[in-house]
Structure 1
Amino acid sequence: MKKDLAVGLVPKAVQDIRNAGLKVQGFFILGYPGERIEDLEESVKLIMDCKFNFVFLNSFQPLPGTPVYDGLVEKGEIPDGLLPNSYSDGKKAYIAKELEDFNFSKFILMTHLKMMWNDPANIPYHLSLMFKLFSPKLVVKKVAMIFWNMCFPKQQIKNDVVFEPMHHTGQVVASTVLSSK
Structure 2
Amino acid sequence: MNTIVISPEFYNYGSLVVAGILKNLKHKVNYFKGFKNKINADITFISLQSTIHLLKYQKNINSIDSFKVVGGPVTMDPSMVFKYLDVDAVMVGEAENKLENFMRKFEENKLDEIEGVILKDQKDEIPKMIHSNSLDRPLPYIPPDIKNENIRGANVYIETHRGCPGNCGFCQVPKFFGREVRSRKLNEIVNEVKEFVKMGARRIAISGGTGTLYGCKKFKEINEEAFIELLKNLSKITGKENLTIPDIRVDTVSPEIMEAISKYTNGWVFYGIESGSEKILKKMNKGIKIETVYEAVELAREHGVKVAGSFIVGYPGETEDDFEATLSLADDLMLDDYFVSIAEPIPGTPLAEEVKNLPLDKNPVFMEVNDTNVSTIAEFRALKLMLDSYVFRKIPMPMTEKLFNMILKEVKSQSKHIKTVTYMIKDMI
TM-score, structure 2 length as denominator?
0.25
Measure the CA separation in 2 of the matches of 1:40 and 1:18. 26
Q: What are the equivalent positions in structure 2 for 1:72-151 lying under 5 Å apart?
A: 72-77=355-360, 95=365, 97=367, 100-101=376-377, 103-104=380-381, 105-113=383-391, 115-116=392-393, 119=394, 122-123=395-396, 140-144=401-405
* 1:33 Cα deviation after fit: 0.7
1:70–1:7 CA distance, 2 compared to 1 (3 A): same
Q: Helix, strand or coil for the counterpart of 2:353?
A: helix
- Percentage of pairs with the same residue: 27
Deviation digits for residues 71-109 of structure 1 (CA, Å, limit 9, x no counterpart): 22123439xxxxxxxxxxxxxx97164974462323420
1:101–1:16 CA distance, 2 compared to 1 (3 A): closer
Aligned residues between the structures? 121
8 A Cα contact 1:34 1:96, kept in partner:
no
The reply on whether 1:15 has 2:298 as its aligned counterpart is: yes
8 A Cα contact 1:34 1:98, kept in partner:
no
Measure the CA separation in 2 of the matches of 1:162 and 1:2. 27
The reply on whether 1:39 has 2:317 as its aligned counterpart is: no
Measure the CA separation in 2 of the matches of 1:50 and 1:7. 11
The reply on whether 1:51 has 2:334 as its aligned counterpart is: yes
**Residue 141 of structure 1 aligns to which amino acid in structure 2?**
K
8 A Cα contact 2:313 2:342, kept in partner:
yes
Deviation digits for residues 10-61 of structure 1 (CA, Å, limit 9, x no counterpart): 1122012112111001111111111112111111221223221111111111
Gaps of 5+ in 1: 79-92, 128-138, 147-159, 164-173
Measure the CA separation in 2 of the matches of 1:140 and 1:43. 25
The structure having more radius of gyration, on CA atoms, is 2
Q: Which has the higher contact order (CA 8 A, sep 6+)?
A: 1
The reply on whether 1:67 has 2:350 as its aligned counterpart is: yes
8 A Cα contact 1:142 1:161, kept in partner:
no
* Residue of structure 2 in register with 1:28 after alignment: 311
**Residue 317 of structure 2 aligns to which amino acid in structure 1?**
G
Q: Helix, strand or coil for the counterpart of 1:64?
A: coil
Gaps of 5+ in 2: 1-283, 370-375, 420-429
Measure the CA separation in 1 of the matches of 2:356 and 2:321. 25
Measure the CA separation in 2 of the matches of 1:74 and 1:161. 29
1:53–1:13 CA distance, 2 compared to 1 (3 A): same
TM-score, structure 1 length as denominator?
0.53
Measure the CA separation in 2 of the matches of 1:19 and 1:12. 10
Deviation digits for residues 107-153 of structure 1 (CA, Å, limit 9, x no counterpart): 4202322x14xx4xx24xx68xxxxxxxxxxx85341476xxxxxxx
8 A Cα contact 1:24 1:54, kept in partner:
yes
Measure the CA separation in 1 of the matches of 2:386 and 2:317. 19
* Residue of structure 1 in register with 2:288 after alignment: 5
